[in-house]
Chains A and B, each alone.
Chain A
Amino acid sequence: MSTEIEYKKVFGRPESLKDNPTHYCPGCGHSIAHRLVAECLDEMGLREDTIGVPPVGCAVLAYNYFNFDMVEAPHGRALAVATGVKRVHPDKFVLTYQGDGDLAAIGAAETIHAANRGERISAIFINNAIYGMTGGQMAPTTLLGQNATTAPRGRDARLHGQPIDISSMLAICGGVVFVERCALTTIKQIRKAKKAIKKSFQCQLDDLGFSLVELLSPCPTNWKMPVKAAWDWVNEEMVKTYPLGLIKDTTGYEDKK
């Protein structure tokens, strides 16, 4: 007598991700962020209508992993490119996925003005406080005292300026409807991040304006830390400069408890 076992799929690769191994280092936050974005697109039925713009930086090859249309932008220009795409296809879903160097340093002008125009775009902002792809140079978001290959004695406010909190800067722009900062280093925060990403996507679908989700992300390689230490450093140190939580919300959405 045979026993019929019913299998129920409880976990799998989202359709919005390709079946490609990533080049990201062990312990990096990008893979988690990719998965969250992909899950949200799947769950909201957006994959086939999405055009994504990756940064120049570690996620420059994101189009090898994301399973939707993507266009490369020059370093920092993702939100300008996304503006062009969105204006041609106002009925499509447009997102950028940018690192701190891309979004907050070289692309600061493009970021601020796209946000201020209230472009109907969702920006995913990966803040790991370092330049990853080029090998650990100082980022605009590098913490005070944090070492980088171009700040070998640690970031010094007098010499390098303070770490920039671009999310809070964007929050004062009129065209911005939703900004939230989450971390990719605890289960609770990852769940919050997913919720924030979904909300950001909803802002675009409802034609409300610009939204951004900042994700504090570990970079064990360039921080020169073991994975566990890097994740702890996000939770213990980064959050002091970049406090987690809602920064702006004028959506009027009522969050389900």
Chain B
Amino acid sequence: MPSEKMLMNGSQTVGEAAVRAGCRYYFGYPITPQNELPEYLSARMPEVGGTFIQGESEVASINMVLGASVAGARTMTSSSSPGISLKQEGISYMAGMELPAVIVNMMRGGPGLGNIAPSAADYFQATRGGAHGDYRTPVLAPAGGQELVDLTFEAFDLADKYRNPVMLLGDGLMGQVMEPVVFPDFIDLKDLPEKDWALRGCKGREARAIFSMILGQQGELYRHNLDLQKKYDRITAEEQRWETKYAEDAELIVVAYGTAARIAESAIEDLKAEGINAGLFRPISLWPFPLPALRELSKEIPKVAVFELCLGQMVEDVILSVGERAEIYFHGVPGGLIPTPAEVAEFLRSTVKGDGKVGRRMEV
């Protein structure tokens, strides 16, 4: 049975959703502002026969995830920006070994230790493959609340479907904000597709090894990379997600994701009273970026305003999508301050007027 409506913060919400999505193995290392997630799971996992380990580092934790994944389990780790940087090595190995897992990043401001205020400055790291090698990880960007539940379920399904790590990209604010949520029923672990590749001992079959080092002299690594790319192409074709709102009669399209999109949406609603009609295009999958959908929309509405909680990362994907078809304006707020809808409204007013007071026109 689905749960009753419950009040939980974003980090706890992801924790409960993960458990209900069949995750029984969590490994993580404390870092603010996402500690409510490991804290929640440290209490919750034993209740469902699961395992929670506080690793000695982010590095150890992601490698425990690697081990649990290769053993066939649904497994997860979480962290915030500096910790996610430390996990990148493991993520690259898992991409190379084609191992599913969910990695949650409740982003905070950087570079370095930065501070714990929300940020969205890890977009490049998340969407371009944050470590070495030619690989991709699907990135889902919820806007908080109920969508954290839904996308946590989706993240596990996508990871298993493509045998690939999947990142759930939130931010510190999303992790802290408490909202009513409803959880679907627990999935039955027996209903999950069999992982016939997993390692459980070689009884009744040949011994098997799973590895990412491919030394062969006959182009084996080259072919492995081409195979991975075929998978990434399939994900690109099949897994784009986005939401469009208020786009009818809009004179301007606002592109924002996650918390920034919610702040922008309030700004858009406030501006209606002034007769400014702006639409919202909210990418939900950041990789694959919903490029064709944005391209189509920009044909109808040739003015695009990009708002990010950083100084301009997703805007590069917007430029790839829209190109010279539309004017592209950008306003970003770097980590350290939380922008209000009023600030975004100023940017949108300025963009409509073309007075250049807030934000800047992007060269394409």
Contacts and interface: CB of A to CB of B under 8 A. Distances in A.
Direct contact of A and B (CB under 8 A): yes
Interface of A: 18, 47-51, 53, 60-61, 63-64, 66-74, 77, 80-89, 92-93, 109-110, 112-113, 117
B63 A71 contact: no
Closest CB pairs A-B (n = 7): A84-B67, A63-B209, A72-B211, A80-B63, A88-B71, A84-B68, A113-B56
Band of interface residues on B: 35 or more
Majority secondary structure of chain B interface residues (helix, strand, loop or mixed): mixed
B72 A81 contact: no
B125 to A, nearest CB: 18
Contacts of B69: 84
A69 B53 contact: no
A77 B212 contact: no
A68 B67 contact: no
Nearest to B93: A74
Contacts, number: 137
Contacts of A80: 55, 59-61, 63-64, 66-67
A84 B56 contact: no
Contact of B90 (A48, A67, A74, A113): A74
B328 interface: no
Interface of B: 25, 27, 51, 53, 55-57, 59-61, 63-73, 75, 89-90, 93, 97, 199-204, 207-213, 215
Given A63-B209, A71-B210, A72-B211, A84 B202 contact: no
A250 B60 CA distance: 27
A140 B59 CA distance: 20
Given A49-B203, A85-B70, A110-B60, 4 more contacts: A71-B97, A73-B67, A84-B64, A85-B67
20 contacts: A18-B207, A47-B202, A48-B201, A60-B213, A63-B209, A67-B207, A68-B201, A71-B97, A72-B93, A74-B89, A80-B60, A82-B67, A84-B70, A85-B67, A87-B25, A87-B67, A109-B56, A113-B56, A113-B60, A117-B53
A71 B51 contact: no
A72 B63 contact: no
Contacts of A93: 201
A49 B212 CA distance: 23
A70 B215 CA distance: 17
A72 B202 contact: no
A228 B93 CA distance: 39
Nearest to A92: B201
A242 B225 CA distance: 44
Given A47-B202, A89-B200, A109-B60, A84 B66 contact: yes
A73 B93 CA distance: 8
A66 to B, nearest CB: 7
Contact of A84 (B25, B93, B209): B25
B71 A48 contact: no
A207 B208 CA distance: 26
A18 B56 CA distance: 35
Contacts of B97: 71-72
A83 B67 contact: yes
A81 B60 CA distance: 8
A85 B68 contact: yes
Contact of A85 (B57, B60, B199): B199
A59 to B, nearest CB: 12
Counting chain B CB atoms within 10 Å of each CB, which of A49, A73, A85, A88 scores highest? A88
B41 to A, nearest CB: 14
Contacts of B60: 77, 80, 83, 109-110, 113
Contact of B71 (A49, A60, A89): A89
Contact of A77 (B63, B70, B73, B201): B63
A198 B231 CA distance: 44
A49 B202 CA distance: 7
A86 B71 CA distance: 8
A68 B207 contact: yes
A77 B65 CA distance: 11
